[in-house]
Amino acid sequence: MKKTTFSLKTFILSIAIGFGALMTSEAQTFEYKDTGTDFILFDLSIPPGSNNIAYAATSKFTFDTEGTILKTVDAGETWQVIYPTSGTGPSFEKIEFITDDIGFAVGYDLILKTIDGGTTWSEITVGADVYLYNNLSFYNENIGLVSAQLNNSPYFAIYLTTDGGATWTAATDVLNAGGIEIAYADQNTLFSVGADEVISKSTDIGDTWTQIYSGIFQNYFVSTSFKDQDNGLVAGEDGLIKTTHDSGTTWSDFSTGYHHFFALAYKGDQLLAGGTDEDIYFSEDNGASWDMLFDGPGFNQLYEIGFFADGSGLICGSGGKMIKFSDVFLGTSENSMLDNQLISFYDSNSETFTVQSNTENIENINIYAMTGQLVETFKNDSNTFNMNASEYSKGIYLVTVTTKNRTSSLKFLKQ
């Protein structure tokens, strides 16, 4: 159960607002989809450019038991098992598709490859004396890596490919690499995290590693994500999220004191973090501040976030949970213009939200919280509306603006 005292949310969080027939944007929506399993969904992969196809890797338990590979062809609405086609299969930890047809799935002493979109799979050999392949990531169609926990000394290895997985070479020196999660920052620069809150960096495609940070002994960093060489984040125990904007030289911290954020994702300067209790946090300002965007039911852990080409996406987790989301990310600037008719602006210094119409007077304004609760209603009779938000709590608000001929929706972030 959740540590907090929030009441349980419904399985579908959608804001039922009468926007009218001519909406310019929609409310954030998180909807649970039936995957047909209660296995742990450790990972998911959406092929580059896809709006409909996604894959998920599952395991019955957190250790080596049995698992499956799932596929959707309708953007997560329905799922089917594509591996094994009969009987039981091995546990899977990671899955990655580098094209529509070519993909890899890894688990306990196992790497599978498909060249036909998951219709058939073949086992390939990458390393020796492997107990578990625990990382799988490609920067592009050619450059990628897997990491492995070994049965004997040195107990950890990273294998690199520059030809799309046709051949693999063991990295030269991984003594200082964190063994839990590895992320590409660019083609040559990678970051890894692990036990004792270690953060390590490689600038030679993952061949050698330098430890750049270490924290509390026997505490763990569990995930990391980078959008480029400078900007990235690391998540640890007790809800800790560390953010860097100088390639790991310095870090700033945010903590909920509770969550494990395994699922991290960038979209421009906006970030999502999913974790314990199926809670999802959001940052609009490159990690400077965070707000809870979705208050989950409190029973499962979220593990991975993936995006379709249209900006919608999926978040997977334990208990077979798959959440589909849409319209989560806001515009990256404080100003927004809708069809050249409405301009909105939030001034964080004066805490004033302003809407201007270029064509007709603004008549009605409704302010809604992310829960769908109506916060305040205003009447207006000019082409400009100003509202003081100093009494509002921090967070994202939805605004419906009604003029003579249309109803539009806006959003603003109170920081």
Query: Is residue 356 predicted with pLDDT exceeding 70?
Result: yes
Query: Is residue 336 predicted with pLDDT exceeding 60?
Result: no
Pick 347 or 210 by higher pLDDT.
210
Q: Which range, 6-15, 91-100, 260-269, is most confident? A: 91-100
| Reported confidence tier of residue 341, pLDDT bands at 50, 70, 90 | low
Q: How large is the average pLDDT for residues 207-215?
A: 97
Quickly list DSSP for 94-153: EEEESSSS-EEEEETTEEEEESSTTSS-EE----SSEEEEEEEEESSSS-EEEEEEESST
pLDDT tens digit sequence for 295-331 = 888 889 999 999 998 888 999 999 999 999 886 764 3
Among residues 270, 289, 271, 292, the alpha carbon closest in space to that of 281 is found at 292
User: What's the residue count for the chain?
Assistant: 415
Q: How large is the average pLDDT for residues 340-354?
A: 75
Query: Is residue 19 predicted with pLDDT exceeding 50?
Result: no
Burial grade of 45 (CB within 10 A; 0-12, 13-18, 19 or more): buried
| Reported confidence tier of residue 27, pLDDT bands at 50, 70, 90 | very low
Predicted confidence at residue 2, as pLDDT, reads 55
Tell me the two tokens of residue 35. 């995957």
pLDDT tens digit sequence for 107-129 = 999 999 999 999 999 999 999 99
Is the pTM for the entire model greater than 0.95? Answer: no
Predicted confidence at residue 28, as pLDDT, reads 54
Predicted confidence at residue 147, as pLDDT, reads 98
What whole-number percentage of the chain has pLDDT above 90?
A: 71
Domains of the chain (ranges, CATH numbers): 30-325 (2.130.10.10), 342-414 (2.60.40.3080)
